[in-house]
Amino acid sequence: MGLGTNKKTSPQPQVPRHNIFMNFAAQINSILAALILLTAFGLLVQRRIYGLLHLFAWQGLFLSISTGIVGYVSNVNHLYISSVLTLVLKVIVLPYILHVLIIRMQIHKEVETVVNIPTTMLIGIALVIFSYHLTAPIIEISTLVTKSTLAVALATVMLGLLMMITRRNAVTQIIGFLSMENGLFLAATSATYGMPLVVELGVALDILIAAFIFGIFFFQIRTAFDSLDVNSMAKLKEED
């Protein structure tokens, strides 16, 4: 009756592993995808800035485990490296940097939102449905075990973007941006069992650099406007 029942019973991995493990791994992987989606929504509705950081770290953790499992399932060894890289970078380093930033700039009050939270939630649900609709044709032709997480990956990207749109604080903007990157990473692992290692290393480096640039950028914004509210950048617009 439903769509999903017979989908996961016949996985066709490129390099087959033992079937029971495969099934179980696929189940774990879909749980992890669900958790990533949940954290993406959590980022969208969380009011406190430390809560955002924690959620972001959790998202990174789930992503890292998921990458590891995909690596195991597909027998693609460099995915283990990506997994460890994700763990170090997104669960430890980046949250730490942001944490330091927050302490340095003394922002720990509630996050201001542009759109109210229930509405954001509903828009988020609509985005998930939309991304499922978009990826449905790809999922049909894909043969990978992880294909079903593609929709989640796309949804995570969109939710990250939505978060950047609906929040005003610059720190929340970077978290939204990083969460978007998490979504892209998940898409890469789920659609094609990961990008080549060189590309991934490059992306990781990029993100690290981006974080530093953002940090400098924050200080600049704050010295210029005395606030991290990105809306104050509207002052930069030239008056006619």
Partner 1 sequence: MSQFELVLFSIIILLSGLVIIPLFARYQKLLIYISFSLTALSSVLAAAGGALAVANNFNQSVTIPIGLPDLPVHLRLDPLSGFFLTVIGLLSFFVSIYSIGYIKAFVGKRSVTHLVIFYCLFLIGMFSVVLSDDAFSFLISWEVMAASSYFLVMFEDERTENRRAAFLYLVVAHIGAIAILLSFGIMAGAATDFKGFSGYTFDAMRQTEFSVGWATAAFLLAFFGFAAKAGVIPFHVWLPEAHPVAPSNVSALMSGVMLKTAIYGIIRVTFDLIGDFPWWWGAVVLMFGLITALMGILYAIMQQDIKRLLAYSSVENIGVILIGIGLAMIFASFEMPLLSALALTAALYHTLNHAMFKGLLFMGAGAVLHATNERNMEKMGGLIHKMPWTAVLFLIGCVSISALPPFNGFASEWLTFQAFLLSPSLPSPLLNLLIPLGATLVALTVALAAACFVKAFGITFLGHWRGGHNPSPPFDSPLAKGGYRGVKGGKGGLEVDWFMRSAMILTAVSCLVLGVVPTLIINWIDILPEQLIGSRIAASAGEFGWLWLTPIAHERASYSAPIVLIIVLAVVLLAYILLHIRKAAVHRAPLWDCGFEKITNRMQYNAASFSMPIRRIFGFLFSIREDVRAVYPTGNPLFPKRLHYHLKVRDRFWGLLYKPVADASIWISRKVGKLQQGRIQMYLIYSFITIIVLLLFLR
Partner 2 sequence: MSQIYPVIIEILQIAILLIAAPVFIGWIRMLKCWSQGRTSAGILQPYRDIAKLFTKDVVLAENASWIFRFTPYLVFGVTVLVGAIVPILSVDLPLSATADVIVLIGLFAIARFFTALAGMDIGTAFGGMGSSREMMIASLAEPAMLMAIFTVSLVSRSTSLSQIVHVITSKGFILRPSIAFAVLAFIFIAIAETGRIPVDNPATHLELTMIHEAMILEYSGRHLALMEWAGMMKVFLFASIGIAVFFPWGIAPKDNLIYLPAAILFLAIKLCLAGTGLVLIETGLAKMRIFRIPEFLGSAFLFATLGMLSYFILE
The whole-angstrom separation of Cα 98 and Cα 76 is 32
Closest residue by Cα to residue 40 from 204, 173, 182, 168: 182
Question: Using CB under 8 A, which of 100, 133, 165, 209 touches partner 1?
Answer: 133
Reported as type and span, the H/E element at residue 35 is: helix 19-45
The whole-angstrom separation of Cα 190 and Cα 151 is 9
The whole-angstrom separation of Cα 91 and Cα 99 is 12
133 binds, among partner 1, partner 2, none (CB under 5 to 8 A by kind): partner 1
The whole-angstrom separation of Cα 62 and Cα 28 is 11
SS3 4: coil
Question: Using CB under 8 A, which of 31, 100, 114, 136 touches partner 1?
Answer: 136
In the bound state with partner 2, the residue whose beta carbon lies nearer, of 38 and 230, is 38
Of 37-45, 62-70, 104-112, 128-136, the segment contacting partner 1 by CB under 8 A is 128-136
201 binds, among partner 1, partner 2, none (CB under 5 to 8 A by kind): none
Q: Site residues (CB under 8 A) for partner 2? A: 1-5, 7-8, 24, 27-28, 30-31, 33-35, 37-38, 41, 45, 117-118, 121, 124-125, 128-129, 132, 148-149, 151-152
The whole-angstrom separation of Cα 67 and Cα 90 is 13
Q: How far is the CB of 61 from partner 1 (least distance, A)?
A: 28
Q: How far is the CB of 128 from partner 1 (least distance, A)?
A: 8
Residues that bind partner 1 (CB under 8 A): 1-3, 125, 129, 132-133, 136
